[in-house]
């Protein structure tokens, strides 16, 4: 029964993500095929979503599309996030002062989940979105969160996990990554040099909150960020210090 419930939830999410990818109304047949859901199951889920007001039907052409309801629900939830509600002014200032994309994330299992992404104003910039998962060992926020661990915990994590190359620049040697993280913690910030996305550099730091530790990163194209680390790092560290003080 539990697996059936999990599958049903996955299919609901698949339906909304299929609409997101298609960017247009879809017929039931198209939705079933594009989301890879059996048509009978897709019909049952769609009927429930229509009944609850999350989808509406078009007669010509006969198709379906999400209503604004999911946006309204998400907006209320995001607006009442216990951390981001207070943090947004600081994060927006960091984005504006650095000119690059600012990301907030936390550890979820053996990965980082992005909680917020504020993209920079440059035409060419690092782009991502909230809800994406990134590896702990190769992403900027992941390295910062690993850096928040005590050294024995960090060593234990690295020794017990594979470190596959995400890009040619990924640190895959346990000792080298351990030394990089420990040295970076002493310095007060962490840097990834194309280790998770080949042409992206990022500067990151962790913020201890009351019951959680979150990571904040400033990321951008390597061509710009390579010469900006010394400028961006103090901006980031200052923003993280302010965020930590806000939660005391």
Cis peptide before 61 (omega within 30 of 0): yes
Q: Is the pLDDT of residue 120 over 70?
A: yes
Domain boundaries, the chain: 2-71, 81-246
Q: Is the pLDDT of residue 242 over 50?
A: yes
Domain 2-71 -> CATH class: mainly alpha
Q: Which alpha helices (H) appear in the chain, and where do they start and end?
A: 2-22, 28-35, 39-51, 69-79, 84-98, 140-147, 151-160, 174-187, 222-225, 229-246
Q: By the 8 A CB rule, do 229 and 220 touch?
A: no
pLDDT in tens, 47-93: 999 999 999 988 877 899 999 998 888 888 877 777 777 888 999 99
Backbone angles phi, psi at 84, to 5 degrees: -65, -30
Task: Report how far apart, in Å, the C-alpha atoms of 130 and of each of 74, 79, 113, 116 are.
Answer: 12, 14, 8, 5
Q: Is the pLDDT of residue 4 over 60?
A: no
As to burial, measured by CB atoms within 10 angstroms (0-12 exposed, 13-18 middle, 19+ buried), residue 210 is exposed
- Give dist(CA 59, CA 4) in Å, integer: 32
pTM (two decimals) = 0.78
Q: By the 8 A CB rule, do 234 and 215 touch?
A: no
pLDDT in tens, 131-156: 899 999 999 999 999 999 999 999 99
Tell me whether domains 2-71 and 81-246 share a fold.
no
* Res 31: pLDDT: 94
Q: What is the mean pLDDT of residues 201-219?
A: 93
Identify which has the larger pLDDT, 111 or 6. Answer: 111
Fold exhibited by the domain 81-246: Beta-Lactamase (3.30.450)
- Give dist(CA 184, CA 143) in Å, integer: 9
94-127 burial, b at 16+ Cβ within 10 Å, e below that, comes to bbebbbbbbbbbbbeeeebebbbbbbbeeeebbe
């Amino acid at each position: 029964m539990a697996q059936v419930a999990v599958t049903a939830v996955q299919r609901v999410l698949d339906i909304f993500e299929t609409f997101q990818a298609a960017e247009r109304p879809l017929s039931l047949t198209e939705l079933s095929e594009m989301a890879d859901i059996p048509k009978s199951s897709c019909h049952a889920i769609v009927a429930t979503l229509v009944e609850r007001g999350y989808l509406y039907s078009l007669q010509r052409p006969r198709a379906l599309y999400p209503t604004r309801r999911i946006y309204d629900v998400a907006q209320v939830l995001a607006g009442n996030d216990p951390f981001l509600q207070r943090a947004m002014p600081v994060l927006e200032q960091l984005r504006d002062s650095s000119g690059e994309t600012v990301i907030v994330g936390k550890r979820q299992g053996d990965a980082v989940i992005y909680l917020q992404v504020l993209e920079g104003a440059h035409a060419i910039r690092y782009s991502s979105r909230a809800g994406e998962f990134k590896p702990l060992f190769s992403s900027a926020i992941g390295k910062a969160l690993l850096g928040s661990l005590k050294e024995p915990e960090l060593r234990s994590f690295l020794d017990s996990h594979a470190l596959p190359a995400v890009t040619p620049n990924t640190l895959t040697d346990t000792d080298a990554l351990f030394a990089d993280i420990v040295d970076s913690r002493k310095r007060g910030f962490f840097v990834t040099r194309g280790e998770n996305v080949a042409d992206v550099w990022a500067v990151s730091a962790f913020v201890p909150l009351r019951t959680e530790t979150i990571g904040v990163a400033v990321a951008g194209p390597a061509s710009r960020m390579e010469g900006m680390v010394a400028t961006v790092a103090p901006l980031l560290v200052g923003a993280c210090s302010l965020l930590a003080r806000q939660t005391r």
